[in-house]
Structure 1
């Protein structure tokens, strides 16, 4: 579950000027943007990323979904976590677009995509991903899901299998967010259970309602609030400038998301090369180790605290992450 949504009263909501079809990013967003930190090897301005586009397509249930796109070559699709969006992938896209045709799909009710009251369940999000792959005309794709984005990919695989997937990568997603009352502690850790009350979790993440860590584990939010990476500061500043998330629409998928248990999909339906990323700051390490053991031939990357090994590792340490992901994708 992506926890970077700015809880009411803590961080202000983002603003968005409106996306258009098949436009360069500056045109789509209505203006240029200068990043707060100058980092060697990465753009100082939005306009410095030549070829970055923001496009959209319409699903079969009439929802306009936006996506960020750059580069050429083998398709690599990123599926963001809950409340996340393509702006947060700016550095990751810039680094990987030198070798891949990189896409980031903003899920319904997130980022630049349309807000709707319907279709807010993981099965529909999996269908959205399937329609997006059809939309770009790709016969084979690499998929990388972060946080809830991993669950979207598990839903896609449950519905459509892996016939169109070359390789997979997952970043720090619990396999079952809901902790069942009859589980042993070992089962809870292996599944990644982080809440005993989905309703309280929804309230905590969308309204800032206080909870204790036995009801909802909020450790990832603490790591977000640290803002201890210049890379992360830059990508979050871009998202702050251009994206508006509505807490009502964000809340609609959370209960369904929290109550899915994907262990059967991971045990029996993932049969392509898979990379798993987590870190020492994350409480998800035991569940990621379980997934590594359940998927034959998978690779597990555990970043240290010094390597920004938390829920946001891809954005806090994009150089290391994109190098590791590229090496994995390049393997025959």
Structure 2
């Protein structure tokens, strides 16, 4: 009986190893998914997205971070905003993977990444991004940060500079979320200040605690609830099916996120070609214009309301966003 037992053990080991290294998205998630809206040129089912993978790596402080990837060629790395994840990028991933090797990193405590009670500062998130690029072995990459993801990239630049960044893309992130009491209204708008109380902001965003627009600007949340795009309905339905964020862990980084002012990094440390995306629905337009004004040679894209120009523009209008993004990436680098 011993050879039979040994053979069974070997087969069991082979199956377990095969599963451990299986990175196909459907396999990792455990089931297929049918998107609620059938949209020409985009997958009807998750299995239609051939080559979409979900992988993971371990950070230096022993946290498992998951990431989504598809395509081949020049690396293009997306860092999601607070509470967001790679599932929400499914349309963007699909469209861009035809020309780029696209990655979306789920930050710690978000998406499929591990929940931990430590390292919940943007400085650590910047280190996570550095360790992620080290893990991928990329010499240089295009980085795109949306919302808090942009702040993660600014933290990375503050710590490590821009030598491994080819081009930079920022989507609708304030320079400083916290409004200082001694600022003029012009300074507040240029910074994008949206709260006078980080504690009240944390409560409003994590528990739905009541607030008002003078204390916490909730315009972005209102635009999220609109759900007025079939593309957005598809990606959000997919994310809601497979992603179960825990508000307890999401809240840990929010105070630190709200109280950082990135104006010095933006003004003095960004020296690579940069594109900034915002829209007429967003209250961040003045701050995005300020960013554009202090980064030499940067490009500013302001989408109209008809073009779904709000905080979620990349997901609500992925065709326009990816078209503009590819056009920016394909431009010859200016001398800098």
Same fold (TM over 0.5): yes
Residues 231-276 of structure 1 deviation map (CA, whole Å, 9 limit, x = unaligned)? 0000000001000000000000000000000000000000000000
Structure 1 residue 22 displacement after superposition: 5.0
Please tell me whether the aligned partners of residues 85 and 105 of structure 1 are also in contact (alpha carbons under 8 angstroms).
Answer: yes
Q: In the alignment, does 2:62 pair up with 1:62?
A: yes
Structure 1 residue 21 displacement after superposition: 5.0
Residues 9-64 of structure 1 deviation map (CA, whole Å, 9 limit, x = unaligned)? xxxxxxxxxx9655100000000000000000000000000000000000000000
Unaligned runs of 5+ in 2: 1-18
Runs of 4+ in 1 over 2 A off after TM superposition: 19-22
Higher relative contact order (CA 8 A, sep 6+): 1
Q: Where in structure 2 are the equivalents of 1:1-332 lying within 5 Å? A: 23-332=23-332
Cα distance between partner residues in 1 of 2:121 and 2:22: 28
Unaligned runs of 5+ in 1: 1-18
Cα RMSD, aligned residues only: 0.8
Residues 180-207 of structure 1 deviation map (CA, whole Å, 9 limit, x = unaligned)? 0000000000000000000000000000
Cα distance between partner residues in 1 of 2:21 and 2:178: 38
How many residue pairs were aligned? 314
TM-score normalised by structure 1 residue count: 0.94
Cα distance between partner residues in 2 of 1:141 and 1:226: 34
Residues 81-138 of structure 1 deviation map (CA, whole Å, 9 limit, x = unaligned)? 0000000000000000000000000000000000000000000000000000000000
Change (3 A) 1:170 1:20: farther
Higher Cα radius of gyration = 2
Cα distance between partner residues in 2 of 1:268 and 1:105: 26
Cα distance between partner residues in 1 of 2:20 and 2:281: 39
Cα distance between partner residues in 2 of 1:64 and 1:127: 14
Structure 1 residue 169 displacement after superposition: 0.2
TM-score normalised by structure 2 residue count: 0.93
Cα distance between partner residues in 1 of 2:319 and 2:42: 10
Cα distance between partner residues in 2 of 1:160 and 1:187: 28
More helix, by proportion: 2
Please tell me whether the aligned partners of residues 22 and 56 of structure 1 are also in contact (alpha carbons under 8 angstroms).
Answer: no
Match of 2:245, SS state, is coil
Match of 1:253, SS state, is helix
Structure 1 residue 140 displacement after superposition: 0.5
Please tell me whether the aligned partners of residues 275 and 300 of structure 1 are also in contact (alpha carbons under 8 angstroms).
Answer: yes
